[in-house]
Amino acid sequence: MTAMPEILKDDAEEIERLIGKYPSRRSAMLPLLWIVQRRAGWVSQGAMEEVAGILGVTVAEVYEVVSFYTMFQQKPVGRFHIALCDTLSCAICGTHEIAAYLAEKHGIEMRKVTGDGLFSMEPVECIGACANAPALLLNEDLVGDLTPAGIDAMIEECRRKAGATAAAAR
């Protein structure tokens, strides 16, 4: 059974271009899942069915891949998702303080989505920003050399963006 594209319905052209780059159709697995995550914010069962249909593999084969790579979200996350690096160089430079600050000052807690759906946070292993420790990824952006003031500015900017979207929708 092939699911009718829902999440990927507007991406047919890009998907065909992507698949065409590889000697094997299955190589487009990660690229397709990235498109899913860009569209939906996470990878749902329905999304996996769509990807399976496009690549001609079983849903189980897609799930096997999704569950292996930590960056694919298997549950909805906040609009602004924080991946806070917790490996040695960051950890000795203040990861823990940053996590505590985000929780106490901004109400953003580990492995939780805030009530307004705006923020979520998870600890991750080394993100390759060791010389700018402590560091995090805010959606696609690397934010390094974190300080309380820098965190405040980052969160403020997210709220401003969210406010602008809300205003535009009205």
Partner 1 sequence: MPEVAEWERVLLPDIEKNETEWLAAYLKKGGYDVARKALDMEPESIVAQVKESGLRGRGGAGFPTGMKWSFLPKGAFPRYLAINADESEPGTCKDRPLMEQRPHTLIEGIICSCLAIESETAFIYIRGEYYKSAKVMEKAVAEAYAEGFLGANIFGREGKRVDIVVHRGAGAYICGEETALLTSLEGYRGYPKLKPPFPAISGLYGKPTIINNVETIINVPYILKNGAEWFKKWVHERTTGLRLYSVSGHVRKPGVYELPPTVTLKELIHDYCGGIRNGHDLKFVIPGGSSVPWLKPDQIDIPMSHEGVAAAGSMLGSSAVMVCDHTVCPVWALGNLSHFYKHESCGQCTPCREGSSWLYKIVRRIEAGGGQPGDLDTLYSLAGEGTPGSGMISGKSICALGDAAAWPVGSAIKQFREEFEEHIETGKCPYRERKTSYWMANGGFVNESFDGMPVP
Q: Which residues bind partner 1 (CB under 8 A)?
A: 21-24, 26-31, 33-34, 55, 64-65, 68-72, 83, 86-89, 91-97, 99-101, 110-111, 123-133, 137, 140-142
Could you tell me the smallest distance in angstroms from the CB atom of residue 29 to partner 1? 3
- Of 42, 62, 38, give the one whose Cα is nearest residue 51: 62
Residue 49: CB minimum distance to partner 1, A: 17
Residue whose CB is less far from partner 1, 118 or 130 = 130
Report which secondary-structure segment, H or E, holds 96: helix 95-106
Strand arrangement, sheet containing 119-124: 119-124, 80-85, 136-138, 141-143
Q: Kindly tell me which of 22 and 153 has the beta carbon lying closer to partner 1.
A: 22
- Give dist(CA 36, CA 15) in Å, integer: 11
CB of 68 to partner 1, least distance (A): 4
